Amino acid sequence: MGILEIKNVGKRFGGLQALSDVNLSVAENTVHAIIGPNGAGKSTLLNCLVGKLIPDTGSVMFDGQSVLGRAPFEINQMGISRVFQTPEIFGDLTVLENMMIPCFAKRDGAFELNALPSVNRQTDVLERAMHMLEEMNMADKRNMHAAAMSRGDKRRLEIGMCLSQEPRLLLLDEPTAGMARADTNNTIDLLKQIKAERDITIAIIEHDMHVVFSLADRITVLAQGTPLVEDSPENIKGHPKVREAYLGE
């Protein structure tokens, strides 16, 4: 039994069957990559895991509990955190203020944006946020406006904000999309470090095969809404069906 068990999931948008018969098991403490051409249904599948979409058919179990029908914040409290395709940080706030928001939410179960001006007096939250920034190697950037950072650092901050929730499952949707090579390599190193240092399972959607083969323990290829093949990175590399799916892109 994997920590995440997806069974017979289907999702239709009007006349388009975006997902059909998706079966996927993610083993605890592994990195599982989901690859596939544009429009294969990768983001749709992720949206079904975090409560943004409800599948028409099938089940999604996390650690033995169904996530279906739960609100995104409840799923987050169950231990699933998600990094979006474009960084979701507050550009006008400083790096430290950004990090304080999830730390606040972790402590209180919710965060009231109006409370921000008094946040600096909440020393426990401040300490936790600083600790997380240190872990992310970003403490020296704490007073920078988040918008002024490089794409790689924005991503680093966002991943740190997710980790402050102490998730057991981290979901990443194309975390290196639009990044320069140096930022991509930094992100790979960061994810390797997280994998080595934490009890965490990572499911990653990724286009960049260099990233996939640097990190993944297992790879599922999704094509036209359904898994084509699942195997180890070594076996996926030369798989004729995989090459076919990519040539068709």
Tell the smallest beta-carbon distance from residue 133 to Mg ion (Å): 29
The 3-state secondary structure of 197-230 reads HCCCEEEEECCCHHHHHHHCCEEEEEECCEEEEE
d(CA 35, CA 174): 10
Instruction: Decide whether 37 or 63 has the Cβ nearer to ligand ADP.
Output: 37
d(CA 106, CA 41): 31
Residues in 1-60 at the binding interface with Mg ion, rule: CB under 5 A: 42-43
Instruction: Decide whether 116 or 177 has the Cβ nearer to ligand ADP.
Output: 177
Contact 147, 92 (CB under 8 A): yes
The option from Mg ion, ligand ADP, none interacting with 41 (CB < 5 to 8 A, set by class) reads ligand ADP
Could you tell me how many residues of this chain bind Mg ion (CB under 5 A)? 2
Instruction: Decide whether 26 or 136 has the Cβ nearer to ligand ADP.
Output: 26
Tell the smallest beta-carbon distance from residue 241 to Mg ion (Å): 21
The residues that touch ligand ADP, with contacts defined as CB under 6 A, are: 13, 16, 18, 36, 38-44
Instruction: Decide whether 86 or 193 has the Cβ nearer to Mg ion.
Output: 86
Q: Hunting for tokens 């090459």 — which residue is that?
A: 243
**Residues 6 or more apart in contact with residue 62 via CB below 8 angstroms:** 3, 4, 49, 75, 78, 79, 80, 169
The option from ligand ADP, Mg ion, none interacting with 67 (CB < 5 to 8 A, set by class) reads none
Distance from the Cα of residue 87 to its chain's centroid: 11
For binding to Mg ion (CB under 5 A), which residues are involved? Answer: 42-43
